[in-house]
Structure 1
Amino acid sequence: MVTSRELGKTRLPLWAAGFVVLICVAILGMSIWREWEARNAELRNAEIDVANLAHSLIQHADDTFELADTLLVGLVHRLEIDGTGPDTITKLQAYLPTRKSSDRIRGIFVYDATGRWLATTERLDFSKLNNSDREYFQRHRDSPETGTLIGRPVKSRAGGQWIITASRRVNDADGGFAGVALLTIDVSYFAKFYQRFDFGPNGSASLLNTSGILLARSRDEGDTFVGRDLSNTPLFREWGSRPAAAIYYFTSPLDGVRRLSYYQRSNRYPLMVLASKSQDDVLAPWRRAAAARMTFVLGLVLLIAVIGFLLVRQLLQRQRTAQALVAQEANFRLLAEQSSDMVTRIGLDNQLLYVSPSCVRITGWSPEELLGTSSLAGIHSDDTERVEQAVTALKNGEAEEARFVYRQRHRNKGEIWAEAALHVTLASDSGEIDGVVAVVRDITEQKDLQDKLASLATTDGLTGLANRRAFDERLADEWARARRDDTQLSLLLIDVDHFKKFNDHYGHVAGDGCLRAIGRILSAHAKRPADLAARYGGEEFAVLLPNTDPAGCAEVGEGIRRALHDLALLHVQNPPSRLVTASVGAATARPAQATTDCSTLVAAADRALYAAKDSGRDRLVMSGQVVPWPAKTA
């Protein structure tokens, strides 16, 4: 009769096989979950990007149509007061070109009650032209509404290009229909403006009205999509239940590309913008990285499966390997566990003549508080001179535009980073420079991210020390400084003795802990601000000691070696001390007396390090009292 103990022994290989399968499934499951989270993170970052772009684009659209609205109000007011008699029209024909002071405005037109052209900024014979067939004209004629109407894109009769119309009704003295004042904006103006932004290879920006008519699009060669009716798409079919601004994923009905986007409705005009990126473009870097990571994970799982199979087969052959199998299973478990912008106008006296309402968000002060103050107020003292020089160059006609980053005081947040784009403005009567327009954006978050990325690029993630790249740059700088000041420069190269054996015996987790402990020792001994402790590669470290002679270099090296002894990290594979020890190679140079570069100092310290290893390890070897550098040539 088979006892329960014997039955347990016979089932042990099956349990071991199940355990290996569980480990493999766990590793695959964790990897898939991690990749899914990484994918979602990429999409979230892209959502933030398109949201920021949409905010900027809707502000630009609002500003553009606000300008058009302002011009139309003034023009209609003049027509309704002066009438449309021949003398008035003659004066108006001369007056209109002076109002076309912005590259946003394509043309300005005035039509009488029959649609006949009365005046325009276009240089053409319009005596026989009539626009009574246009939709905007008929709507103004049939409706007493006097507000500005933003119409569908149409082909211009003056130039043949696609234009967006903004128009207002002109009434006679009795309130009857007397004609239409029209202002046009080239569709290509918006398309060119959108091309300034990076939407990716297959991304796009679109301007639409709230009825679903496409007014302009960045990726529209030949204006193929202008005027397209998209009111039957899901975005507009569900328009009533959607918020004014939100993330929106969709497959484009124009080119079939799957996109993630952010739409933003204007709160002033019947407009919206749709900033989008191709989902494939956003996820392409993640897919490449995920493929590499999953290849590694699958290789690891395959390795674990093969080892498990061999262990199970040995269990079937010999029961005496049961304890070894338990240890291997523990090793497998360990492997699995490790496995929106402010716009200002600046006068020639540097006073703020206009400040947009978004200044409250950018600076914390209202437009009323900023008007009449100096444009340089609130700029950090270290940046004031540079900003003032740029503004002065623009006002003197030395440049037409400028862009720079500076620090700006915020009323509530203290200090922020801002990016400003400046353009000169010209007087309408003389054409001379009469000021500067500045568009200011808060880039504090982007600047903080850049600083963090810069820090990560020069820091070793495991030990917190400087990485190899930072060490090489610092070595070159200190070499040049020592040559200039005629001082000595010392270098320590430190290698952990038998570290591979330590990793093989205690595992990579313990190995990482050992390296972090050594990093803390090096940080403690690199006391001076100019000293630099770095992870040179693997288990090798470096300490750069500017303005240090051989005696001082040896003292620091011996201090590091003794501190590692005092730490008493157990390392049974490192006789005779059976503790973690290190070999140290040291070199000192006087660059002013050398004709070679800093690589010679590294080579000298490296030779000293190998000498320390060959001499029995756990010791410091100096590469001579002062490295004999080649003499300078005359």
Structure 2
Amino acid sequence: MTRNTVFHRWFGWRARLAILVLAAAGPLTAFILYQIHELRQRRVDEALHRAYEYARLGSDGYEDILAEAKSLLELLARVPEVNLAAGADCNEALTAAALSRRWVSGLWVVPSNGRVACSNIADGVGMDLTQRDEYRQAIAVEHFLVSNVFVSKLRKIPTAVATLPIINAAGQRLLIAVTLDLTWFGKLSQTVSERANATVLLLDGAGEIVASASSHNDPTTSARAGALASRPSGMFEAADNLGRPTFWGVVPLAGSPLRLAVGLDQATVLAAYHRGTRQAAVLLAFTVLLTSSLIAFAGSGFFANPMRKLDRLLHLTLENMDQGIIAVDQNGRLPICNKRATQLLGLPRDFMSKGPSANEVLAYQASTGEFEALSTDVQGKLNPCLSGGIATSYERTRPDGTVLEIRTVPIPEGGWVRTYSDVTARSRAATELLRLATHDGLTGLCNRRHFDASLQIEVARSCRSGPPLSLLMIDVDHFKQYNDRYGHVAGDACLRRIAQLLHDACRRPSDLVARYGGEEFAVLLPETPLAAALQLAENVRRLLDAAALPHAGGQHGVVTVSIGAATLGDFATASAETFVAAADACLYAAKSAGRNQVHPVPCAEPLPLAS
């Protein structure tokens, strides 16, 4: 045997083996790189949307404060002591109003000379506001106005001023103002920072940082917000003030030039992606090293062992992944289904050991009631064979309460790969944030913002299709005297007791009970005629009488309520505003008639047409 013949025999089969291995590894490497790229893009998109959602929820909370501020100023305008700026009595009324509202920093009544006539802050009486920008802006308009943010000279905290000009009973022009305590920003910042490792900034119209908070140990504040100054709103990537790449969500705060920016650190968001990249690189390097060793040293007797070890490594990788993964070939069989997938989907081991097809797995899950509570839209995504070769992503809740994020990627040669992630904790956190944005913190009822949105929807539905829609406006009688006699802690407990009574009385899922503002409640009753609404209102009044909550300052010795009722029906065309005004007028008629009663007439006559 010549040397040349030995060389060809020794080198030739190794070259063919190398070509075979590379041909097999090429598609696998391309698939891994594609999955890594897709994983990064998904993490980026999720981070941007999550940052924007945090910012939007904070913006909704600020809108609620502005709505409550407007309601408070309108209520104070009707209080005689405040309306006439009656010295000490006015100071006392403003102090009582501020105590029950934690977001109130100060209340002021300013006549046309620009000097504070009365305030809940003793040092503020007599203060000259004529040189203040917020005062000049307020006297130039005839409507509710919110100022720019500034730092309070008295309390040294970021503050905004909401003002309402009025003409009082004596024909004088007054300005009623409330300074808003922006410490809510700190609470939001703490919540978001703890849950999401985030940076939260409050920016003014010029891009100056009004306040900030960060989960990092190093500070992030500076005079300006850098790249954020030129971005009014939206989702984008930009460096923070220390040069760290960050995913930002920016939302303007309604009624003010402020913007709320929430940033998620890119390194934290992409940590899982970087771990996956390193693992893939290690796996690829190991494959190349193994292949090189086989080509250089392995004979036919050594070829099987490394392949078995590689197969074992791949098997251990799949079985120890935090995600569930299922691969289905073009024939509908399951060549890959790791342990985590069977755990997340609740599939028995003996069933999976039989090698069922994808359709058999779906049929088994359906037989156990797995899909009964799912919406039609989600049920249409269960079988990826019907997706038309398009990548899909959705979430569904299992019967045991586990929330799964399911992603499907088609394989070009036929079949698909589906991953399952347990996102229960993230889903519950989002649900809790939504509840905080739509419910009143004291009573647990729906808040004013949620009520207004629901009212618009129900009025439009009633006007379009004709089912009667009733509204009850409920006000606690002599509640100021109750607070003065028993204190605000007892007053809060009284409001919670009344809220629980209303919640228990309105048992239909469609009924909506809300705290409208202060001691006033609203009950929206879809598909309810006036007679049924009046019966419910009278039941509420009697239940509260039976509860016998002591009220030594009231007319009847116990806590009572006055209720106004109005109804839309027969394809009425009244607007939500005129509907509320009609029920509110009935409420005041009930108070004028002696309180502790339900008043539907004459206010519940046909409502005026919407303009």
Q: Which of these two proteins has the greater Rg computed from alpha carbons?
A: 1
Q: TM-score when scaled to structure 2?
A: 0.47
Q: TM-score when scaled to structure 1?
A: 0.46
